[in-house]
Structures are given as C-alpha cells and as structure tokens.
Amino acid sequence: MTYDVIVAGLGGMGSAAAYHVARRGQRVLGLERFGKAHDQGSSHGGSRIIRQAYFEDSSYVPLTLLGLRTMGGTWSGRRAGIS
Ligand SMILES: Cc1cc2nc3c(=O)[nH]c(=O)nc-3n(C[C@H](O)[C@H](O)[C@H](O)COP(=O)(O)OP(=O)(O)OC[C@H]3O[C@@H](n4cnc5c(N)ncnc54)[C@H](O)[C@@H]3O)c2cc1C
C-alpha cells in the first residue's frame, strides 16, 4: 500500500492534519506510538481554553478564528462517526 502523506504523531495537531489532508482525497497514514485517542499527549484533557486575543502578534487572530471554524467541522466529523 502506498500513501501520499504520512503523519507522525496523532495528537491534536497531527490528527487535524491527517483529517484535512484525507478530506482533500489524499491517502494518509497516521503513526501514533500510543494508539488512537490516548491520554499521554498534550492534547489530552477534559477541557480546552481557546483565546482570540494575542499580545504576541495580531496576525494570530485571523488564524484563531479560522481554527475555531475548522475545529467545528472536525467535531462534526467525529459526531458523524469519522475516526
Ligand atoms: C496540561 C496542559 C494543558 C494545556 N491546556 C491548553 C489549553 O487549555 N488551550 C490550549 O490552546 N493549549 C493548551 N495546551 C497546549 C496544547 O495542548 C498543545 O499545544 C497541543 O495539544 C499540542 O498538540 P500536538 O498535537 O502538537 O501534541 P500532542 O497532543 O502531544 O501530540 C503529539 C503526538 O505525537 C505522538 N508521538 C510522539 N513521538 C512519537 C513517535 N516517535 N512516533 C509516533 N508518535 C509519536 C505522541 O504520542 C502524541 O500523540 C496544554 C498543554 C498541556 C500539557
């Protein structure tokens, strides 16, 4: 089997990358040392704080807003049974 993209690490960032690349029709292989949906990474936890105000650089703000819209799509995908 061949793949267009290989994602190493399926935490929040890697999972999102794999999901969106797959949605574009690419064949994706995700590699994760702990298996799916584990509790060993930075992305694990029962709550998440997302801020839209960034002192560091205002260019983060449109990225944050885009991320919020994109995560909504990802969560909808999870509800639809995409894993
Ligand atoms: C306690 C805590 C609370 C946080 N709270 C917030 C918050 O409220 N809001 C916020 O915006 N950010 C928060 N952060 C930061 C945020 O969680 C991280 O920046 C983000 O989750 C990082 O995502 P990631 O996918 O890069 O990393 P991770 O979720 O850690 O994913 C990396 C993945 O790579 C895998 N991996 C590593 N090495 C290998 C390998 N050799 N082979 C295969 N797989 C490998 C790991 O197992 C893991 O699944 C928090 C971080 C921590 C630690």
**3-state SS class at 51:** coil
Q: Which pTM does this prediction carry?
A: 0.83
Beta bridge partners of 28: 5
Beta pairing, strands 5-8 & 28-31: parallel
Cβ–Cβ under 8 Å, residues 20 and 45: no
Atom nearest to 12 CA in ligand 1: 25
Q: From ligand 1's centre to the CA of 41, what distance in Å?
A: 5
Q: Mind listing the pLDDT tens digit for each residue in 17-50?
A: 999 999 999 999 999 999 888 999 999 988 888 8
pLDDT digits (tens, 9 = 90+) for 48-81: 888 888 999 999 999 888 888 877 766 655 554 5
Q: For residue 12, what are its two tokens?
A: 């929040």
> For the chain, what is the largest distance between any 2 Cα atoms, rounded to a whole number of angstroms?
46
Measure 81 CA to ligand 1 centroid, in angstroms: 23
